[in-house]
Amino acid sequence: MRLLNFLLLMGLFSFLAACWAEKDRHPEMPFLPGATNSRIKIDSAEYAGIDRFIFSADRKKIYALVAQTAGGGTYNHYLIELDENGKKLRELYLGDMGRVPTTLSLLDSNTLIWDYSNVFYIVNLPSFKVIDEVFTYYQYDYPKSKENEKLINEKVGQEFEARRVKIAEKYDIQKIDSVSLEIVEGNKKNAEAYWTEFRAAKKESDSMIYTLRQKYYEEYANNEIKTGTWFLGYKLPESDTEYLFTKVASGKVVAFQLDKGISRNGYDFARLNLNPDSEVNRNFSSMYSYPTRGIKDKDCSLRITEQITTEYNQYKLKGPDKKLFYYEMQVGDEKTAFKWEFPVMVSNDFYLRSANGNTYIVANSKLYRFSLQ
């Protein structure tokens, strides 16, 4: 019977998915690396596994983060330097690590930052070497976080237990089964009122944990910053998250995440080399967001013209709710169209073109170059 019910449910699911899905609106439009304009050539770099990329300050070079399977669920990470035509110049091995969302940015023309798993790897571009690893401190991870978390849990736990006892006395509840949560001894008629007040108290208790966690972190950060000797503010290019790079009393540089209780006043922030025309369109570079607008970069632009939910298993995709995106790319005076199953990725600085006019995006972990023939 269970198997029959499961099959019926799956059949209904497939039927509904087919009802919601659409057929390809432009079957004649090619997938990458195809294009509708023969005057625009599209080719891909020989490297697979590209997670992120960014242009140099003069846009004569490209820096791409490459993750290649190492076995055991980890990946060998490399930073590769390419010229403006996509030819590899140098390669820097970064380590064998897990593959997680990451970001590249330029602190200045000679310094690249790779943000990986709460560590900022600082790369000197002329020497093409990692010169520092700056650990980030935030509410859940700083030198005193475990000690403070224990204090918080003890304090909040004791206060909640005292309040719970008072609520039980108020409603004449003496004993509750720890498994079934049924009242074993006491006035069972008061069960609903008891649990209502109990849940409200628990919600306040959980909120207090967050408040104290933030308070203790901010106290620690402010004390360390007060005795610091060097500072630089840094804002992630794809979000509003801000950090203060600080040389603390021990002599090492750490990055404090700036919560509302940590002052930003009086500190210089790094001026990242970001496309000024992309301020409202930054989600274009995220694999998880579907923008409604495009990105412009001088005489180049990229925009999503349409997106649909495809038919179940059409294009050999898993699941019924996959998207199909239709794009228009302009390179100089020429335009071309293509489609792809996922949002394509642009550079972390939200530029499209290199100094010589070639345009670059990433799709399916490959770097694609659009150039005029």
Of 135, 63, 58, the closest CA to residue 356 belongs to 58
In a domain, 264, yes or no: no
Q: Please give the pLDDT value at position 281.
A: 46
The DSSP code for 188 is G
Q: What is the SS3 assignment for 284?
A: helix
Cα(14)–Cα(124) distance, integer angstroms: 53
Q: Please give the pLDDT value at position 367.
A: 94
Of 363, 328, 321, 315, the closest CA to residue 24 belongs to 315
Of 283, 265, 245, the closest CA to residue 107 belongs to 245
Beta strands in 56-100 (DSSP E): 61-71, 74-83, 88-97
Left if phi > 0, otherwise alpha if psi is -120 to 50, otherwise beta: which for 368?
A: beta
In a domain, 155, yes or no: yes
Rg of the chain taking only CA atoms, in angstroms: 27
In a domain, 208, yes or no: yes
Q: Please give the pLDDT value at position 8.
A: 52
In this structure, is the dihedral angle defined by the CA atoms of residues 189, 190, 191 and 196, taken in order, positive or negative? positive
Domain shared by 99 and 214, yes or no: no
Domain shared by 168 and 184, yes or no: yes
pLDDT tens for the 373 residues of the chain, in order: 555 554 455 454 444 444 446 787 788 889 889 889 999 999 987 778 898 999 999 999 999 999 998 878 899 999 999 999 999 999 999 999 988 888 999 999 999 999 999 999 999 999 999 999 999 999 999 999 999 999 999 999 999 999 999 999 999 989 888 888 788 888 888 989 999 999 999 999 999 999 999 999 999 999 999 999 999 999 988 778 899 999 999 999 999 999 889 988 889 999 888 887 765 444 444 433 444 467 889 899 998 888 877 754 444 445 555 778 889 999 999 999 999 887 888 999 889 999 999 999 998 889 999 999 8
Q: Please give the pLDDT value at position 278.
A: 64
Given 196, 223, 250, which residue is the final one in a domain? 223
Q: Please give the pLDDT value at position 293.
A: 60
Cα(264)–Cα(235) distance, integer angstroms: 12
Domain shared by 154 and 45, yes or no: no
Q: Which domain holds residue 316?
A: 2-139+272-372
Helices (H), the chain: 2-20, 145-170, 191-226
Domain shared by 135 and 168, yes or no: no
Question: What total of structural domains would you count in the chain?
Answer: 2
Q: Number of C-alpha atoms within 13 angstroms, CB side, residue 248? A: 19
Residue with tokens 């503010």: 233
Domain shared by 155 and 133, yes or no: no
Per-position DSSP letters for 105-122, written without gaps between them: EEEETTEEEEEETTEEEE
The DSSP code for 345 is B
Of 188, 152, 160, 161, the closest CA to residue 173 belongs to 188
Q: Please give the pLDDT value at position 312.
A: 45
Enter the tokens of residue 191: 């069960």
Of 100, 145, 143, the closest CA to residue 118 belongs to 100
The DSSP code for 257 is E
Which residue(s) pair with 112 in the sheet?
Answer: 106, 123
Domain shared by 132 and 150, yes or no: no
Given 160, 189, 223, which residue is the final one in a domain? 223
Type of residue at 148:
N
In a domain, 265, yes or no: no
Domain shared by 197 and 133, yes or no: no
pTM, two decimals, is: 0.82
Domain shared by 121 and 20, yes or no: yes
